[in-house]
């Protein structure tokens, strides 16, 4: 069985990482608490006048590397691997990729080891990747192919509703029937 797992918002905590940096760099600016977010893309929650500041955080050196793991994510992926599941990190880099690409690899090496970097799949179109399941916090995955995988939604405040199965790192065994 092949499990594809999104990196940002599923195993790395981009939401709290962004908000922490935002409050540090722009302490007097408007912000949206994680629990009040209603859209998948953080930038879409902010007024047009603040979007360059949002991008400045994403694009800054160290942003992706400094993200903390989601609670239980590292342990869950290691346990999945111990069950002989083929777990792949299927992630979409930013178009402004200069820091993002390298830091995603370094992040995986930091938390899972160098060998695990061979299991990273970087793509803007996840529908072309083969697998049994895609665990992703985005409620909408589109692309040029009809995907082979079943989309399982990693639960987040901004993706509530719909009829997809929901997963957290505490209920993954029940959702995936393990």
Give the pLDDT band of residue 178 (cuts 50, 70, 90). Answer: low
Domain covering 14-59 in this structure, CATH number: 1.10.40.40
Burial 51-67 (b: 16+ CB within 10 A, else e): eeebeebbeeeebbbeb
What percentage of the chain carries pLDDT values higher than 70? 99
Instruction: Flag whether pLDDT at 163 surpasses 90.
Output: no
Which position among 8, 13, 136, 137 bears the catalytic label? 8
Dist. CA 159–CA 137, nearest whole Å:
7
- Residue span(s) of the chain under CATH 1.10.40.40 come to 14-59
Q: Are strands 150-154 and 133-136 parallel, antiparallel or unpaired?
A: parallel
Instruction: Flag whether pLDDT at 95 surpasses 90.
Output: no
Give the pLDDT band of residue 96 (cuts 50, 70, 90). Answer: confident
Is there a catalytic annotation at residue 6?
yes
CATH architecture label of 2-13+69-175: 3-Layer(aba) Sandwich (3.40)
Note whether 124 and 92 are within 8 A (CB). yes
Report angle CA 55, 11, 67 to the nearest 5 degrees.
45
Rounded average pLDDT over 15-23 = 97
Predicted TM-score of the model (pTM): 0.94
Which position among 6, 13, 136, 137 bears the catalytic label? 6
Dist. CA 68–CA 51, nearest whole Å:
23
């Amino acid at each position: 069985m092949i499990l594809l797992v999104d990196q940002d918002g599923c195993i790395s905590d981009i939401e709290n990482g962004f908000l922490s940096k935002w409050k540090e760099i722009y302490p007097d600016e408007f912000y949206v608490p994680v629990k009040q977010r209603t859209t998948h893309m953080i930038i879409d929650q902010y007024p047009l006048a603040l979007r360059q500041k949002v991008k400045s955080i994403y694009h800054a050196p160290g942003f992706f590397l400094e993200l903390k793991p989601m609670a239980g994510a590292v342990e869950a992926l290691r346990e999945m691997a111990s069950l002989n599941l083929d777990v792949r990190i299927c992630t979409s880099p930013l178009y402004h990729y200069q820091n993002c690409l390298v830091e995603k690899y370094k992040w995986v090496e930091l938390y899972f080891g160098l060998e695990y970097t061979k299991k990273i799949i970087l793509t803007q179109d996840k529908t072309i990747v083969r697998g049994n399941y895609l665990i992703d916090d985005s409620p909408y995955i589109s692309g040029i192919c009809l995907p082979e995988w079943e989309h399982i939604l990693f639960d987040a405040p901004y993706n509530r509703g719909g009829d997809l199965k929901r997963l957290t790192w505490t209920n993954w065994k029940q959702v995936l029937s393990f």
